[in-house]
Structure 1
Amino acid sequence: MEERQRITPSGDHKVALNALTARVGDELETLARLSTDVQRALSACGVSEGTDAQAIRELQGIDRITQSLEDLGRLMSDISAEIPKDVSLHAETILSRLRLHELIENLDPAHEKNIMPREDDGEIMWL
């Protein structure tokens, strides 16, 4: 399980808002890929075999989550391009609200991004 670590405001580290929103967009796209992986894993486990139709319909919600995350990722990336480069925030104040250390590092432009490689997104059909 991911280590939970809070950071506390301790300095004057600033983060450019356009860079932060771009990083949020990247993270949303990464989460969309993880959601696709969950769908694939459920399919590989034979979730459609012997599962009632209502449960299958509810599992289809994963696909909506995936599509929403992809859309929100693109939206955040587009928003970041519209934000003036001189607008910044106190990084510690903003990032201290997050619990996951890896997420904090992925969102902070002062750290190198840890982005999962994109794989072929084949179609998943349960119904």
Structure 2
Amino acid sequence: MELIGGLFMQGVQMMLVLAVAPGLIGLVRKVRARLLLRNGPSIIQPYRDLLRLLRKEALVASNASWLFRVAPYLVFAAVWVAAALVPTFATGLVFSWSADILAIVALLATARFALAL
């Protein structure tokens, strides 16, 4: 039963990281603009941008390789897993033992490699 609760908390943390990340970007942009004595964009602007980008049609060349098509998903998955391994909202998570610096560096290196392709 403890394993199921731990997996549930890990899933909740992963969803919270996914939901809160654009808001933090918006907050940083707002604070940066205020420090420069400007108004700056709304805090929810990254959410609007994300929805706009998700509605756009993906243009892929007909001769594009499978690696070109898979790379964005690989980058997203690697960064999301790296963010989920770091105990942000909950502690004592099921997979927290694997959240050492080598695993996170390897995941981010995988994302960077896929982005370079």
Task: Assess same fold via TM > 0.5.
Answer: no
Q: State the TM-score, normalizing by the size of structure 2.
A: 0.30
Choose between structure 1 and 2 for higher RCO, CA contacts under 8 A separated by at least 6 residues.
1
Higher helix proportion (structure 1 or 2): 2
TM-score normalised to structure 1 length: 0.28
